[in-house]
Structure 1
Amino acid sequence: MTRIAIIIGSTRPGRNGQAVAEWVHDIARQRSDADYELVDIADYHLPHLDEAAPPSLGQYTQPHTLAWARTIDSFDGYVFVTPEYNHSTSGALKNAIDFLYTEWNNKAAGFVSYGSAGGTRAVEHLRLVMAELQVADVRAQAALSLFTDFTAFTAFTPAPHQADAVTVVLDQVVAWSGALAGLRTAS
């Protein structure tokens, strides 16, 4: 069965990302088209990139990199839950992505973002990063506003239509993950 990671893209204390990712996971678990798993980058305690060789060579030496690589490699696609910090994604998520290369290749990615502008600028940057990693990013996106989908900017209270947006993201990520399976097998 297709395996999809829902990646919590923030490590910030008091982060909104955990509540958002758990909500996405709750929606996903109601489906039978894939296995969905929460992956929290905070659990991997990744320092700033500390591998001597470029990730594209796959010569990982650090235990945290090896654990992260095993996890990411085990999935067929990803839903990134990302905040928007200063018109981009979190440094922690970008760093976690940059640790690896081949483990991301020929898979699909979707985005659930949040911020004052719905996190859309963070996703714009992530789409460029995904292209370099040979990840097919889907068109659909759930963009959550700190003004309308959170109470006092911290309590997650998504508008009802947002669940529909997440459903479309999941539909597309599962479809594209399946479509890319042949490429993953060939490589």
Structure 2
Amino acid sequence: MSDLKIAVIISSTRDSRFGEKPAQWILDKANAFDGITAELVDLKSFDLPFFNEMASNLWMPSSDPKAVAWQNKIGEFDGYIFVVAEYNRSITGALKNALDQAYVEWNNKPFGMVAYGSVGGTRAAEHLRGIGVELQMVSTRSAVHIGGSDFFAVHPLGQQNKEISEIEGSIGGAAADMLKQIVWWGNATKSAREADAAAAQAAE
């Protein structure tokens, strides 16, 4: 069976963002994991407008070329790892907008999370799980939460600015569990999508 193609999506677009650091860490972990080929996808590179379509692309094609480019990109993948910044107890506006800019491309695929903040990004992660349900996605049970003293140890504002690898004793097990679950759900959902596509073609 071929490797699953997994996107590691950086969800913050601020110039001073921290997300690139954990994103690179989980990207390396994912690419070393059996059954996964991972690619970094940076929301900042897509310059998405605020959602301004007549409807979701569940109902009609999107008109904005930037939205279409985003849809085409995320449609390449079999699953996703969102690097989740917690802003005021939820996900970033940039990530919510990016999720809203597509629909069918997210469907029937798994996602995991690397969340961070003073309480490990847990509140943002739970909001993202709820959004994922509406997008017909499958959330892994396990997620990576970088919080508390670990967060301040690796964040530049914590003045230590350690590498993420230095807190792997706290988060490494969760990362391995998450990746294992992405592979399981990724293979299951990919097989189901392929079966649905074959059935639809046969019915034409």
TM range (shorter): over 0.9
Identity %, equivalent residues: 40
Structure 2 CA distance for partners of 1:89 and 1:181, relative to 1, 3 Å? same
- Structure 1 runs of 4+ with >2 Å offset: 52-55, 149-158
Q: Relative contact order (alpha carbons < 8 A, sep ≥ 6): 1 or 2 greater?
A: 1
Match of 2:190 in 1: 181
- Distance in 2 between residues matched to 1:58 and 1:25, nearest whole Å: 33
Contact 2:112 2:182 in 1 (8 A): yes
Deviation at 1:168? 1.3
Match of 1:28 in 2: 30
Match of 1:11 in 2: 13
- Distance in 2 between residues matched to 1:58 and 1:75, nearest whole Å: 21
- Distance in 2 between residues matched to 1:148 and 1:75, nearest whole Å: 31
Give the TM-score taking structure 1 as reference length: 0.94
Name which of structure 1's ranges 25-34 and 15-24 shifts more when overlaid on structure 2: 25-34
Name which of structure 1's ranges 145-154 and 101-110 shifts more when overlaid on structure 2: 145-154
Question: Which has a greater percent of helix?
Answer: 2
- Distance in 2 between residues matched to 1:36 and 1:153, nearest whole Å: 24
Question: Which has a greater percent of strand?
Answer: 1
Give the TM-score taking structure 2 as reference length: 0.86
| Residue type of the alignment partner of 1:163 | G
| Rg (Cα) greater in structure | 2
Deviation at 1:147? 3.1
Q: 1:118-149: per-residue Cα shift (whole Å, max 9, x none)?
A: 00000100000000010010100100015323
- Distance in 2 between residues matched to 1:76 and 1:152, nearest whole Å: 30
Aligned match of 1:149 in 148, 151, 170?
151
1:13-162 superposed matches below 5 A:
13-145=15-147, 147-151=149-153, 153-154=155-156, 155=161, 157-158=163-164, 159-161=167-169, 162=171
Match of 1:171 in 2: 180
Q: Which blocks of at least 5 consecutive residues in structure 2 are unaligned?
A: 198-204
Deviation at 1:58? 4.1
Deviation at 1:53? 2.4
Name which of structure 1's ranges 55-64 and 89-98 shifts more when overlaid on structure 2: 55-64
Structure 2 CA distance for partners of 1:120 and 1:82, relative to 1, 3 Å? same
Length, aligned pairs only: 187
